[in-house]
Amino acid sequence: MNARPTFLLDGVEVPFDPGQTVLQAALAADRHIPHLCYHPEFRPHGSCKVCTARIDGRMMTSCTTPAEFATEVESDTEELNDLRRTLIQMLFAEGNHFCPSCEKSGDCQLQALGYDLGVMTAGFRHLFPDRPVDASHPDLLLDFNRCILCELCVRASREVDGKDVFALAGRGIDKHLVVNAVSGRLADTNAAITDKAMEVCPVGVILRKREGFNIPIGERRYDKSPISEQAAQFAPRRPEAPRG
Amino acid sequence: MAELAQRKLRIATTSLAGCFGCHMSLLDIDERLFALLERVEFDRSPLTDIKHCGPCDIGIVEGGVCNAENVHVLREFRANCKILIAIGACAVTGGLPAQRNHLDLGLCLQEVYVTEPSLGRGLIPNDPELPLPPDKVHPLHEVVKVDYFIPGCPPSGDAIWKFLTDLLEGRTPTLGHGLIQYD
């Protein structure tokens, strides 16, 4: 094991296997770098920019940057955490994230990162966009108000389910999640509650009907410990390995 | 700071477009209220029934801005309080009242007062004494400068206590895991 190459993350050595990215190696070593659009079972996407770190002096998304021997990675610095707070604030101001009425509250990665980084306000002027929900499907509810455009459902539906149920449409501030049906309704696709795409949403867009509040507020995943202390649970694993 | 330590700090509180849940949470600090009252005294607040805010050290505002009167009260607080704190989801984000923001205000009033059968009389209230609503509900920081935010619906009594004691001791207020909450 001593032969494994290492890089420095905030001054501490992190071993890695060739082919791993900086974020994957860090998580495997139980070191947390804040991230949102990354999921251990999918190819890194690099779109949310929350995992940006200073790698040998350059700002890089740690989820897409291959780990290299003896590089110096800065992540837990006031400068980078300030930038991460700003990214999270912009996501909160851009959508309608009304946590008091959200079924995902306590299990939401956006919320948990906000807690962990000490985000006390969205700061910016809220956009209050008009995004009607889609309750057409018998088993599933889509609440587009909470979408952060991580594309995890798009990726899961395409790569795992082979269905292409979701896509992102539009550009810039107009970019939004759409359902791949002429009607635009989930009921008119072949989406099923057992699809991988229906379990990967890091926020509260894709919800299962008739399961609301099975686990009470206060006893949920991120009520127990901060997201940064659960790094090992986000570690890369083979798709066939059991999900934690 | 020596002068501050000798005299009691003056605090004003109010609820704008809020439900007074945050004020209930403030009361939830329970017997710690006695310790707090050794350090502070209350100006305008539902607890004192003083009608206008005088010069204060700290202003604590619950609820967002959903009508013209809210704007006047909020500006009075800002003009009189050295430190202004937005407390609760409504003050910080607009909260529940802001859930009407993607709807047309005229259609909202129509639906509630005319279409909805249970009210019976079918008239949108138009008394000149009623403060007019703006087309959108705003969190406080969109109207005045806000110095601190305590999120939560409501924030717990423990969170309010931690925040206020940090502030009174001259520390930067931080909540940490379990106390910072948005729901």
Structural domains in chain B, sorted by start: 2-99+136-168 (3.40.50.700), 102-132 (no CATH)
Q: Is residue A235 part of a domain?
A: no
Mean pLDDT, range B15-31, rounded to an integer: 97
B142 and A CB contact within 8 Å:
yes
CA-to-CA separations, A97 to A88, A104, A177, B7, B67, in angstroms, rounded: 11, 11, 16, 42, 23
- CA pseudo-torsion sign A45, A48, A50, A55: positive
CB B169 within 8 A of CB B162: no
pLDDT at B181 over 90: yes
B94 and A CB contact within 8 Å:
yes
Q: Tell me how close the Cα of B64 comes to any Cα of chain A, in angstroms.
A: 13
Packing angle, helices B157-168 and B32-39, rounded to 10: 30
Q: Kindly report the pTM of this predicted structure.
A: 0.94
Q: Is residue A120 domain-shared with residue A202, that is, in the same domain?
A: yes
Distance CA A27, CA A231 (A): 6
User: Are the beta carbons of A105 and B182 separated by less than 8 Å?
Assistant: yes
User: Are the beta carbons of A96 and B102 separated by less than 8 Å?
Assistant: yes
Mutate to test the interface with B, among A91, A94, A96, A98 (most CBs of B within 10 A): A98
Using the 3D structure, point to which of A52, A76, A100 is the last residue of a domain. Answer: A76
CB B135 within 8 A of CB B108: no
Element housing A83 (H / E): helix A78-94
Range of the domain at A21: 6-76
Distance CA A233, CA A221 (A): 11
Q: Which residues of A touch B93 (CB under 8 A)?
A: 92, 97-98, 121-122, 126
How many domains is chain A built from? 2
User: Are the beta carbons of B101 and A114 separated by less than 8 Å?
Assistant: no
pLDDT at position B28, please? Answer: 96
Closest CA to B141 of B79, B78, B53, B76: B78
Q: Which residues of B touch A122 (CB under 8 A)?
A: 92-93, 139
Q: Is residue A241 part of a domain?
A: no
pLDDT at position A234, please? Answer: 79
Q: Which residues of A touch B183 (CB under 8 A)?
A: 99-100, 102, 105-106, 111, 217
Q: Is residue A108 domain-shared with residue A200, that is, in the same domain?
A: yes
Tokens of A54: 């200073």
Q: Tell me how close the Cα of A209 comes to any Cα of chain B, in angstroms.
A: 21
Q: Is residue A100 domain-shared with residue A196, that is, in the same domain?
A: yes
pLDDT at position A235, please? Answer: 81
Using the 3D structure, point to which of A76, A95, A130 is the last residue of a domain. Answer: A76
Cβ neighbors of B132 (< 8 A, separation 6 or more) are: B67, B68
Mean pLDDT, range B109-123, rounded to an integer: 83
Kindly report the CA angle at A93 between B163 and A44, in degrees rounded to 5? Answer: 105
User: Are the beta carbons of B177 and A217 separated by less than 8 Å?
Assistant: no
Closest CA to A100 of A204, A222, A215: A204
Closest CA to B57 of B86, B77, B71, B37: B77
pLDDT at position B120, please? Answer: 65
Closest CA to A39 of A61, A23, A55: A23
CB contacts under 8 A, B 27-86 vs A, are: 86
CA-to-CA separations, B63 to B92, B95, B103, B180, in angstroms, rounded: 8, 8, 20, 18
Per-residue pLDDT of chain A (244 residues; tens, 9 = 90+): 557 999 999 999 999 999 999 999 999 999 999 999 999 999 998 999 999 999 999 999 999 999 999 999 999 999 999 999 999 999 999 999 999 999 999 999 999 999 999 999 999 999 999 999 999 999 999 999 999 999 999 999 999 999 999 999 999 999 999 999 999 999 999 999 999 999 999 999 999 999 988 999 999 999 999 999 998 887 876 544 444 4
